[in-house]
């Protein structure tokens, strides 16, 4: 069996503010209108020094086909939908996975897992031993397969942030 000659070569790379148009395109295709976030907030997120977001792009034209928005945070802190990535504390950093999205043309090919593995390796290299996220759109089982477990949010402000994602949103964490 041979690989189709039209298959583009792909590369995982850090996201920059210059990727916002592609990121917004991916988001518009993969998320319902209730979970789409604004262009302005993504520009701010990708300009902040504590983001560690990644994308998978075609090497031929550098066009994004998938992205993983993430940053260094503190445990228990939930970024609200369409909220900025607040700077992490000096100690006790955690990897916060805010958003992962893959275009249908790349779905089922391990793109999300490749980006996550790259990011988990980066976190471990920096002695970060925990990751957290908000599971939406019925993705809890996917995250559980990766070692994440539901974590109860008790802080009133963080609970309000969690609720900004709508019914069924679950805060989850995992050891790295």
Q: What crossing angle do the helices spanning 39-47 and 20-30 adopt, rounded to 10°? A: 130
Q: What CATH number did the domain enclosing 145 receive?
A: 3.40.630.30
Helices (H), 60-170: 111-125, 140-145, 156-163
pTM exceeding the 0.75 threshold for the entire prediction = yes
In-domain check, residue 146:
yes
Residue 4 lies in a domain: no
Q: pLDDT tens for residues 142-155?
A: 999 999 999 999 99
Element of type H or E holding 42: helix 39-47
34 domain-assigned: yes
**Residue 21's domain spans which residues?**
10-175
Q: pLDDT under 50 in the chain at which residues?
A: 1-7
Is residue 56 a part of any domain in this protein? yes
pLDDT at 2: 31
* Model pLDDT, residue 32: 66
Question: What are 3-31's pLDDT values in tens digits?
Answer: 323 345 889 999 998 999 999 999 989 87
Residue 5 in any domain: the answer is no
- Position 1 in a domain: no
Q: Tell me whether residue 55 is in a domain.
A: yes
Task: Indicate the number of domains in the chain.
Answer: 1
């Amino acid at each position: 069996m041979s690989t189709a000659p039209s298959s583009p070569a792909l590369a995982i790379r850090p996201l920059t503010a210059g990727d916002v148009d592609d990121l917004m395109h991916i988001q518009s295709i993969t998320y319902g209108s209730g979970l789409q976030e604004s262009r302005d907030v993504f520009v701010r997120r990708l300009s902040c020094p504590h983001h560690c977001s990644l994308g998978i792009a075609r090497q031929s034209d550098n066009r994004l086909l998938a992205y993983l928005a993430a940053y260094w945070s503190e445990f228990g802190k939930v970024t609200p939908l369409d909220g900025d990535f607040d700077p992490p504390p000096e100690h006790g950093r955690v990897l916060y996975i805010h958003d992962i999205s893959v275009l249908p043309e790349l779905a089922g090919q391990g793109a999300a897992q490749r980006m996550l593995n790259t990011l988990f390796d980066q976190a471990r290299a920096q002695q970060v031993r925990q990751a957290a996220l908000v599971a939406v759109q019925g993705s809890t089982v996917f995250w559980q397969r990766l070692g994440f477990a539901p974590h109860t949010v008790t802080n009133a402000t963080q609970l309000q942030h969690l609720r900004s994602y709508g019914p069924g949103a679950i805060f989850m964490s995992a050891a790295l």
